Structure 1
Amino acid sequence: MQMDIQCRGFDLTDGLRDYARKRLAYSLNCGDGHIGRVIVRLSDINGPRGGKDKRCHLEVRLKGLPEVVIEDTEVDLYVAIDRAAERAGRALLRCLARQREFAPDRRMDENTEESVVQADELKTEKI
């Protein structure tokens, strides 16, 4: 999984980068084979004025599926990363479950082919 972390309004520290990487890797490990790229945008909306203005915007780009986009705004940036990562993990699970639910069942095709072969064998035995 390729991860790109971008910051606006402040400098990205090594600790914050490592925290975001570890938290997202843990939350998104269920769909690791389906994830092409994760883009993380961290920003301080109000700047030094304070308030609930730390934003974590996640884009999880999936192979062959629509992307998952999550945004969370909190007072603390670490909390925003936690909540966005949790929500992205749940959304990814839903997306993958939906794909499995509506994907054609390959076992049905294999069973159909086997029953056709068995029917042909029965016809040749009777002759």
Structure 2
Amino acid sequence: MKIQINAPNVDVPEALSEFIESRTHEVLGHFEKHLTRVEIHLKDQNGDKGGVDMHCTVEVRPRGLDPMAVDHTAESEADAVRKALDKMKSALDRRLGRLSER
């Protein structure tokens, strides 16, 4: 499972990058055999204005299925990533669970 971080207008220090990678493995690790790639997109929607504006989109590429994406907006990068990954876990549980029931 390849993890790619895209953040064109967000400074991603090494500590944040390590957090994103470890949290992704922690939350989505048991889906690893089903996923070819996970993309984490971070965007600061308001720039220097502040507020609840850190947007995270998590996109996954399941083998043999269409890509899936979820997003979350929060005050910090870490919170946005954390919540978006939790949403993706739920979405994958539903999608892959339905496939295994067939």
Structure with greater proportional helix content:
1
Gaps of 5+ in 2: none
Q: Distance in 1 between the 2:11 and 2:74 partners? A: 18
Q: How well do the aligned residues superpose, as a CA RMSD in angstroms?
A: 0.9
The match for 1:56 is: 56
The match for 1:29 is: 29
Rg comparison, structure with higher value: 1
Q: Matched residue of 1:65: which SS?
A: coil
The match for 1:15 is: 15
1:87, distance to aligned residue in structure 2 (A): 0.9
Structure with greater proportional strand content:
2
The match for 1:80 is: 80
The match for 2:94 is: 94
Residues 1:68 and 2:68 are matched in the alignment: yes
Q: Distance in 1 between the 2:92 and 2:71 partners? A: 14
Q: Matched residue of 2:90: which SS?
A: helix
Deviations 1:47-105 (A, max 9, x none): 00001100111101000122220100011111111101111111111111111112xxx
Using the TM superposition, name which of 53-62 and 3-12 deviates more. Answer: 3-12
Read off the aligned partner of 2:76 and give its amino acid letter.
D
Name the structure, 1 or 2, with higher relative contact order (CA <8 Å, separation 6+). 2
The match for 1:42 is: 42
Q: Distance in 2 between the 1:8 and 1:80 partners? A: 16
Q: Percent identity?
A: 30
1:8, distance to aligned residue in structure 2 (A): 2.5
Q: Matched residue of 1:94: which SS?
A: helix
* 1:54–1:76 CA contact under 8 A, matched in 2: yes
- The 4+ residue runs of structure 1 with deviation greater than 6 A are none
